[in-house]
Amino acid sequence: MTKQEQFLWAVQTMVLANSVNVTTQPGFDETKRHIVSVTGLSNTVRAALAASEKIPVDLSATGAAMEFCGWMLENLRGDDDKMPSWIYGC
């Protein structure tokens, strides 16, 4: 697998696992279902495809996926988190 393919596989796996985790938590707020809906994730998919072509040489596919998902998945992003600079423009 290329680095780009590894990144996309890792992002896909993290998004799927996160979606299951978020929706199976006790007290899941149904008004937040957009976070894991196909419509809600379409921007994440688009951004992942664009980002997969911009991964810095010195960043592993796994590291890039962690940075990407940490920013793109609403429930993983902290209030003070900033979008990784290599993702700009995706």
Tell me, yes or no, whether 27 lies in a domain.
no
The Cα–Cα gap between 10 and 4 comes to: 10
pLDDT of residue 73: 87
User: Is the separation of the CB atoms in 80 and 53 below 8 Å?
Assistant: no
* Domain count of the fold of the chain: 1
Residue 15 lies in domain: 3-21+32-87
pLDDT of residue 76: 83
Tell me, yes or no, whether 72 lies in a domain.
yes
Tell me, yes or no, whether 53 lies in a domain.
yes
Distance, C-alpha 59 to centroid of its chain:
16
The confidence band for 90, taking pLDDT boundaries of 50, 70 and 90, is low
Q: Does pTM top 0.75 for this prediction?
A: yes
